[in-house]
């Protein structure tokens, strides 16, 4: 996989962090509960990025796209907002 995910609406959504694309990281409780004392801010963020799922937003249809990437796994799930009213 490259740096893009194709949304269900056919829009390509960037999944490369640090490109100003509005990506969120989902930090796990496990990660937050760990003792990170002594780690530099840079190391902490690297760990966080490596161990968190990414939450992307498709600007075209508003879907949330959850990306789970690990050494041996690659999983993408789509969540479509409920319509108002
Ligand atoms: Zn979309």
Looking at residue 16, its pLDDT comes to 85
Chain-wide mean pLDDT for the chain? 90
Residue 7 burial (10 A CB sphere; 0-12, 13-18, 19+): buried
- 80 Cα–ligand 1 center, Å: 9
Please compute the mean of the pLDDT values over residues 5-34 and round it to a whole number. Answer: 91
- 45 Cα–ligand 1 center, Å: 28
- 30 Cα–ligand 1 center, Å: 31
Whether the Cβ atoms of residue 68 and residue 75 lie closer than 8 Å to each other: yes
- 51 Cα–ligand 1 center, Å: 25
- 72 Cα–ligand 1 center, Å: 26
pLDDT top residue among 73 and 42 = 42
CA dist list (Å): 30 to 3, 17, 27, 49, 85: 27, 22, 8, 14, 37
- Which stretch of 1-10, 26-35, 38-47 has the lowest confidence by average pLDDT? 1-10
């Amino acid at each position: 996989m490259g740096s893009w995910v194709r949304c269900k609406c056919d829009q390509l959504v960037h999944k490369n962090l640090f490109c100003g694309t509005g990506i969120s990281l989902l930090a796990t409780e496990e990660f937050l509960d760990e003792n990170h004392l002594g780690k530099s801010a840079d190391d902490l963020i690297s760990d966080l990025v490596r161990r968190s799922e990414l939450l992307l937003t498709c600007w075209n249809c508003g879907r949330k796209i959850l990306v789970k990437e690990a050494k041996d796994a690659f999983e993408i799930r789509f969540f479509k907002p409920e319509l108002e009213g």
